[in-house]
Structure 1
Amino acid sequence: MKITPKITPIYQTSVFKFDDLNELEQYFGEPGSRYLYSRNGNPNSDELAEAVNKLEGGAGAVATGSGMAAIFAAILACCQAGDHVLCAADIYGGSSALLNAELSRMGITASYVPFEQLYELAEFVQPTTRLLLAETISNPLLRVADLRRLAAECHRHGLKLVVDNTFASPVITQPLALGADIVLHSVTKYISGHSDVTAGVVVAADEEVVARLRQIGIFYGLTLSPMESWLAVRGLKTLRLRMREHSRNALIVAQFLEQHPKVRQVNYPGLDAHPQHALAAEQGAGQFGGMMSFLLDDDAEVVNAFMQRSRRFPFAPSLAGVDSSLSYPLGTSHRSLTTEQQQQLGITVGLVRLSVGIEPIEELLADLAQALG
């Protein structure tokens, strides 16, 4: 009986069988012809990597066990001991913690570039500088990088541009098409979309970099498990639909918050008042995603009261699920920064980050109104 499943099965196995030595030699002589050991690759993780690679328009991709593993792999693909990395100051706190706490121990140093100076890198570049790490839409202040301009500036100095595209997703922006060399995602977020997967993916424009990423994935054991891969592929199939609804709901929520007397500031690229609104509209084909942040009074009790009253935005320090949530950058994602760094970035006591889901918008607005009231 012939069995042809419409959906790829879950290959929940750690190892694959060979009939004889000829098949073993085929594995090593014809890369990609078969599987040996799931850490080296498995059909499910390859399916996820290939699907994201297609969306991003790359030469190849590798699925990893988390977004942090994806960042680690991307940097290691370009750097070795003695090298230097530039990093946008406006970045996920975990990225800066990785650079400061762990990669520094491997002899890879880092310097941080303020957002306003991203397109003038000369004073930051050292002879050993290899890359710049930046985000399409920054976490948590929602600043938007001009990727075409940034890529040109990086390449002028012989640097690779590595872009964390998690907040935008490949539906909104494709950094490789704008000149980036490597793009990465925390698949945990929009690509999976249902808050039930921990995964990452790295996509490269150059085949040699892809080969290096695969080697790093195998040797460091970064490979994603079959089950997580299968769940992420299932989530990816509705990404376009979800991003459309995330973007629609978020714009309405941002406009509501913008008019609320207890909200001091709203950071959302879809608002006309956002400093990079026109750029975000161009790079995102009119979609702006479901992430935003806003400022309440710089009083922990005010923030606590809002969190305790809200029912549709539970305090959950992640993002991009179909269900809305809120987070507190000062106490979670950017906790490892010094007080001076937090203040320089504008990450204060009153800053709250929202991940706007795809629920009925009237329910979200009603909840925000009563929580702020």
Structure 2
Amino acid sequence: MTSITPKITPIYQTSVFKFQDLDELDQYFQDTSSRYLYSRNGNPNSDELVNAINQLEGGAGAVATSSGMSAIFASILAYCQTGDHVLCAADIYGGSAALLNTELSRMGITVTYVPFEQLYSLGQFVQPTTRLLLAETISNPLLRVADLRRLATECHNLGLKLVVDNTFATPLLTKPLSLGADISLHSVTKYLAGHSDVTAGAAVAADPEVAARLKQIGVFYGLTLSPMESWLAVRGLKTLRLRVREHCHNAQAVAEMLQQHPGVRAVYYPGLPDHAQHALAKEQGGGMFGGMMSILLEDDQEAVSGFMRRCQRFPFAPSLAGVDSSLSYPLGTSHRALTPEQQRDLGITLGLVRLSVGIEPAEELVEDLRQALG
């Protein structure tokens, strides 16, 4: 029979792999990379995804996880244990804050939140047990841009590790490890997979020993990504460059229109020249600014709801980065768990709406938002 060599990796939809005898079992434990045992420990599809993301980020090794949240969890545990202390940028995804405030605090890991303006002077927040800083390349939801090279220098001078959530930027705009970060992580659910049909995460390490630790955490805690989700994410990655280019192009057109619209009080998008970190974003992002933005409407619930109802191309769907545009409401979804004081300090108010600009024709998106603003 002619051998079959598929161009695309098949889906290895199996929980376990067969051994012929005890010799093969011994060979596996002598070199666990020689073959597969159990899909929680490794699977050809998840390994293909890991290798692709690791190459994109320029890392020394990576782990694929069941969600972006599990990638954040694994990244923190790679450096922390009971009694340790973590610094976290105050401008952070609400789920990250909830994880730190609830589950990790129960494990004896404490956290201090650092205002964006003080990220480069961390000494005042450091304790003897402080191990790392968690930050985002482009913050959620106000699109503030962190100077990762400067941040890495500050962290390393203080003996801290820098863990960066690179979800909004993707490795096509910014490669945190090349700027000095120790771990770059993603919600693969978002841009890397790109089609709103996968829930997955990934964490990439600059140090091979840390990469091995990430893998160990994934196996022991059962954070494993399924073969099917891995296969879909790999398929999505193949169009990442094309998609990100269109996301950025469309977002720029949308942001420029919204900035001129009388119904919009503010537009938060790094591609606009008056954005506080525009020059940094341009340099660090290679001239691209991403597909995410937030806008400030009237601080009135009915005004926001009316805008949502009138939008045709931006359905209210609390996620982001799919090929189809969508909008979200940070106060009621991603940052709902924050205290009112935290929400107020971050500028997350009734009128703040986050837009994920897709790859549809830009003129259609602009026209839809124009009519929705009325």
The interval holding the TM-score normalised by the smaller chain is: over 0.9
Q: Give SS of 2:353's match.
A: strand
- Counterpart for residue 227 of structure 2: 226
How far does the alpha carbon of each residue in 1:225-251 deviate from its partner, in whole angstroms, 9 at most, with x for none?
000000000000000110000000000
- Counterpart for residue 60 of structure 1: 61
How far the C-alpha of 1:362 sits from its partner, in A, is: 1.2
How far does the alpha carbon of each residue in 1:92-126 deviate from its partner, in whole angstroms, 9 at most, with x for none?
00000000010000000000000000000000000
- Counterpart for residue 104 of structure 1: 105
Q: Give SS of 1:340's match.
A: helix
How far does the alpha carbon of each residue in 1:115-152 deviate from its partner, in whole angstroms, 9 at most, with x for none?
00000000000000000000000000000000000000
In the TM superposition, 1:273-352 aligns within 5 A as 273-352=274-353
- Counterpart for residue 87 of structure 1: 88
How far the C-alpha of 1:366 sits from its partner, in A, is: 1.1
State how far apart, in whole Å, the 2-side matches of 1:195 and 1:87 are. 28
Which AA in structure 1 matches 2:114?
A: V
State how far apart, in whole Å, the 2-side matches of 1:206 and 1:20 are. 36
State how far apart, in whole Å, the 2-side matches of 1:173 and 1:240 are. 13
State how far apart, in whole Å, the 2-side matches of 1:101 and 1:244 are. 38
- Counterpart for residue 24 of structure 1: 25
- Counterpart for residue 359 of structure 2: 358
Which AA in structure 2 matches 1:36?
A: L
In the TM superposition, 1:22-171 aligns within 5 A as 22-171=23-172
How far the C-alpha of 1:341 sits from its partner, in A, is: 0.4
State how far apart, in whole Å, the 2-side matches of 1:245 and 1:82 are. 45
Q: Give SS of 1:163's match.
A: strand
State how far apart, in whole Å, the 2-side matches of 1:309 and 1:183 are. 38
Q: Give SS of 2:211's match.
A: helix
Q: Give SS of 2:40's match.
A: helix
How far the C-alpha of 1:31 sits from its partner, in A, is: 2.5
How far does the alpha carbon of each residue in 1:254-284 deviate from its partner, in whole angstroms, 9 at most, with x for none?
0000000010000000000100000000011
Q: Give SS of 1:63's match.
A: strand
State how far apart, in whole Å, the 2-side matches of 1:206 and 1:51 are. 17
Q: Give SS of 1:71's match.
A: helix
Q: Give SS of 1:352's match.
A: strand
State how far apart, in whole Å, the 1-side matches of 2:206 and 2:100 are. 23
- Counterpart for residue 246 of structure 1: 247
How far does the alpha carbon of each residue in 1:44-86 deviate from its partner, in whole angstroms, 9 at most, with x for none?
0011011000000000000000000000000001000000000
State how far apart, in whole Å, the 2-side matches of 1:190 and 1:111 are. 29
How far the C-alpha of 1:372 sits from its partner, in A, is: 0.2
Q: Give SS of 2:99's match.
A: helix
Which AA in structure 2 matches 1:240?
A: R
Q: Give SS of 1:177's match.
A: helix
Q: Give SS of 1:130's match.
A: strand
Q: Which runs of 5+ in 2 are unaligned?
A: none
Q: Give SS of 1:123's match.
A: helix
State how far apart, in whole Å, the 2-side matches of 1:26 and 1:255 are. 60
- Counterpart for residue 174 of structure 2: 173
Which AA in structure 1 matches 2:7?
A: K
State how far apart, in whole Å, the 2-side matches of 1:295 and 1:210 are. 40
How far the C-alpha of 1:30 sits from its partner, in A, is: 1.1
CA RMSD of aligned residues (A): 0.4
State how far apart, in whole Å, the 1-side matches of 2:149 and 2:71 are. 22
How far does the alpha carbon of each residue in 1:158-202 deviate from its partner, in whole angstroms, 9 at most, with x for none?
000000000000111000000000000000000000000000000
State how far apart, in whole Å, the 1-side matches of 2:28 and 2:289 are. 44
Q: Give SS of 1:293's match.
A: strand
State how far apart, in whole Å, the 2-side matches of 1:283 and 1:32 are. 36
Which aligned runs of 4 or more in structure 1 are off by greater than 2 angstroms? none
State how far apart, in whole Å, the 2-side matches of 1:52 and 1:37 are. 22
Q: Give SS of 2:341's match.
A: helix
- Counterpart for residue 196 of structure 1: 197
State how far apart, in whole Å, the 1-side matches of 2:269 and 2:25 are. 54
TM-score (norm 1): 1.00
State how far apart, in whole Å, the 2-side matches of 1:141 and 1:152 are. 24
State how far apart, in whole Å, the 1-side matches of 2:206 and 2:370 are. 46
